[in-house]
A and B are shown apart, each in its own frame.
Chain A
């Protein structure tokens, strides 16, 4: 678990760190979209090169990055193997019962592997360089057009930012309660399925109770400071769109166009 970096944030001040969060989310979104349309060697090389450039620009050490996404590799390999063994179509190399290795299956598996890796790499760049609060700002900026359709953008983004803000608090609390119960003799992760599930009761109940208490305290504190739902508020952080944001967006648009031109 220690090296697992998916979804973690590493403070820094590279150019990627300083991009407008809305631009970054948009970039990531377009990139994932494009990954599904690429279908030959040339386009995938282009997309892989893009993600490597992003990693280098974010000043993250490449080995740390690779080690961090290793744990996810097992999930990917599992999916890939299912593709290899159970796909039908194309030339059949080997078959035994329901297991069939076909050219089509292998092709699909390779495609799946590459797509998975690229998407995970790009979204890890996003989360490593963007703090949770910036992400919530970014999401609310991108959702702003939905206001026309009566979607409660303000409330939604407030919910996201509070949720993100409390992730580390609740993680700390989880660790603390786990330690406290372990020192009272609870063995988490030992024994059969039922015993394991039972061991989590002394963790989950205090955690829920404390989450309720946090919610109660926070809502009272917010009200005392003049918060009212649905009222228009001003914002402390304002993210301006800068030249670098536009240039990164244009870059990804160019990559999109090139990919669509060269896909077979």
Chain B
């Protein structure tokens, strides 16, 4: 099977049969390929968080079914045998530093794998590997997680998820509230995991620049429905669509457009700032040659 995740006509209703009933997902179907980098965007309250919670059965569909590799989740799924699934799908929630609790950084990182029954040398090795991946200073190992800085805390939290060695990593706004350096650090880390370990990445983000730069596919949600599934360059050239759903245009697209308006037309739309710079330089060089 090629698909890591597939949703089939999934609906989710919070508090059914009460006056507070709320349809968070309406008949959502989607497929995500193994090893791909997919971003989910949409306004607050469009159902993104509800959608991702289905990926490791924190929520179960009211209707329809979700398939993750060999696991099938529908409204009859028992809560008992979900641990292998949870090990397969790592979830990094918004502000994951809130979930730290152990006495030392090391213990906190080891918490996830030890819940899945991993012990001794193997546990030690997994923790070490996760710490290496997020490039955390070994000096911090025996410190209390509450003594660390915001950026370090978040790295520890992410390491705690990576130590479970998930095949699918779901991140809900992993860069929210970090400074620019911290944001870049986390995103590069995610990209590296995607490229080097062919981990399937699902990123929920409001940062259009990051979505444009990193993701291979984009899913746009609005009011509990998927309104578009496409490649990032397809999405970000469709200004009308972006306007309709109140989505921002990435800076690179804006710059390309403004240059175009002044008569400086680039051949290609770049979604990465380095690429854009190269594109402009090449264009200038070519113009020089032609003169």
Q: Which residues of A are at the interface with B, using a C-beta cutoff of 8 A?
A: 2-3, 10, 61, 64, 173, 176-177, 179-187, 190, 201-202, 205-206, 209-210
Complex CA gap A181/B111 in Å reads: 9
Contact of B96 among A180, A185, A205 (CB under 8 A): A180
Please give, as numbers and ranges, the residues of chain A lying within 8 Å of B99 by CB-CB distance: 177, 180-181, 184, 202, 206
A11 to chain B, nearest CB (A): 10
Report yes or no: B18 in contact with A177, Cβ–Cβ below 8 A. Answer: no
Question: How far does the Cβ of B36 sit from chain A's closest Cβ, in whole Å?
Answer: 21
Q: How many A-B residue pairs have CB under 8 A?
A: 67
Please state if B111 and A184 are interface contacts (CB–CB under 8 Å).
yes
Nearest Cβ on chain B to A181's Cβ, whole angstroms: 6
- Across the interface, do A206 and B115 meet the contact criterion of CB distance under 8 Å? no
Q: A201-B101, A202-B101 are in contact. Are A183 and B18 (CB under 8 A)?
A: no
Expressed in whole angstroms, the minimum distance between the Cβ of B18 and any Cβ of chain A is 6
Closest-CB distance, A170 to chain B (whole angstroms): 12
Determine chain A's interface SS by DSSP, over half rule: helix
Q: By the criterion CB–CB under 8 Å, are B53 and A179 in contact?
A: yes
Least Cβ distance of B175 to chain A in Å? 17
Contact of A10 among B19, B58, B80, B161 (CB under 8 A): B19
Which B residues have a C-beta under 8 Å from some C-beta of A?
A: 15-20, 53, 56, 58, 80, 83, 86-87, 89-91, 93-94, 96, 98-102, 111-112, 115-116, 146, 160-161, 164
Given known contacts A180-B91, A180-B93, A185 and B98 CB-to-CB distance under 8 angstroms: no
User: Which residue in chain B gives the minimum CB-CB distance to A203?
Assistant: B101
- Contact across chains for B112 and A184 when beta carbons are under 8 A apart: yes
**Inside 8 A of A205's CB, which chain B residues have their CB?**
101
Known A179-B58, A185-B116; contact A206-B18, beta-carbon cutoff 8 A: no
Q: Which residue of A lies closest to B101 (CB)?
A: A205
- Expressed in whole angstroms, the Cα–Cα distance for A190 and B83 within the complex equals 12
Known: A176-B98, A206-B99. 10 other contacts (CB 8 A): A2-B15, A10-B20, A179-B93, A183-B58, A183-B90, A184-B111, A184-B115, A184-B160, A186-B115, A210-B98
**Distance in angstroms between the alpha carbons of A36 and B89 in the assembled complex:** 56
Shortest Cβ gap from B80 to chain A (Å) = 8
A182 touches B101 (CB 8 A): no
- Cβ of A22 to closest chain B Cβ, rounded Å: 27
Residue of B nearest to A10 (CB): B19
8 contacts between A and B (CB under 8 A): A173-B98, A177-B99, A180-B91, A183-B86, A184-B111, A184-B115, A206-B98, A209-B101
Q: Is the CB of A184 within 8 A of B98?
A: no
Given contacts A173-B98, A185-B86, contact A209 B112 (CB under 8 A): no
Contacts of A185 in B (CB 8 A): 83, 86-87, 112, 115-116, 164
User: Within 8 Å CB of B16, what residues of A?
Assistant: 2
Give B116 Cβ to nearest chain A Cβ, in Å: 5
Min CB–CB distance B233 → chain A (angstroms): 33
